[in-house]
Amino acid sequence: MAEETPSRSHPLALKAVLVVDDDKQLTSALQWILRDENYLVDVAFDGEEALLKVKIHEYDAVICDVMMPRLRGDEFYVQAKKLRPSLANRFIFITGFAADSNIREFLSARRLKHLIKPFPIQELIGCVKELIETKE
C-alpha cells in the first residue's frame, strides 16, 4: 500500500504563513509562536524581500508591518496582489502607526485585517486561523 502524501487540501497539511517586519526581534518571536501553532513560517525583513518570496512560494496568510525600509507594507501589498491575486484577502497588517491618516485610509478602504502594536498574541493567532479557515 502506497504511503499517502499530504496535499494542500489534506486536513493535516501545514499552512504556510509569511511574516514581514523589519523588527527582527518581533519577527523571531512571531515565527516561534506561529510554529508552535503548527504553521510553516517564512520571514522577510522588508517588502522587497517579501515580494521575492511571494514570487516563488504560495502562502495561506501574510502578516505584514506597514512601515518598513525599501518597500513599505502597503506598497508590498499592492505588488503582491498583482503577482498572486489570491493573496488579496490573506493579509493581516500590524502597525504602530495607526494614527497616521494615510495608513488608516489604506487599511479601511480595502477592509484589511490589522492589529495595532503592541497586540495580544492570541488576537493575532485568532486572525490567522480565521483567514486560513475562510480560505478552505
Each residue's pLDDT, cut to its tens digit, for the chain (136 residues) gives 444 444 444 556 889 999 999 999 999 999 999 999 999 999 999 999 999 999 999 999 999 999 999 999 999 999 999 999 999 999 999 998 767 888 888 888 899 999 999 999 999 999 999 999 886 6
Amino acid symbol at 7: S
Q: Write the DSSP symbol of residue 110.
A: T
- Spatial separation of the C-alpha atoms in residues 61 and 112, rounded to whole Å: 12
Number of domains making up the chain = 1
For residue 2, tell me if it sits in a domain. no
According to the model, what pLDDT value does residue 12 have? 61
* Cell numbers that stand for 17 in this block: 504563513
For residue 25, tell me if it sits in a domain. yes
- Spatial separation of the C-alpha atoms in residues 22 and 95, rounded to whole Å: 12
Q: Which of 25, 95, 19 is nearest to 60 (CA)?
A: 19
Residues 6+ apart with CB under 8 A from 76: 20, 47, 48, 50, 51, 64, 68
CATH number at residue 97: 3.40.50.2300
According to the model, what pLDDT value does residue 7 have? 42
For residue 101, tell me if it sits in a domain. yes
CB atoms within 10 A of CB 44: 23
According to the model, what pLDDT value does residue 5 have? 41
Domain that holds residue 56: 15-135
For residue 123, tell me if it sits in a domain. yes
For residue 33, tell me if it sits in a domain. yes
For residue 84, tell me if it sits in a domain. yes
- Spatial separation of the C-alpha atoms in residues 102 and 24, rounded to whole Å: 25
For residue 1, tell me if it sits in a domain. no
For residue 46, tell me if it sits in a domain. yes
According to the model, what pLDDT value does residue 102 have? 87
- Spatial separation of the C-alpha atoms in residues 92 and 73, rounded to whole Å: 11
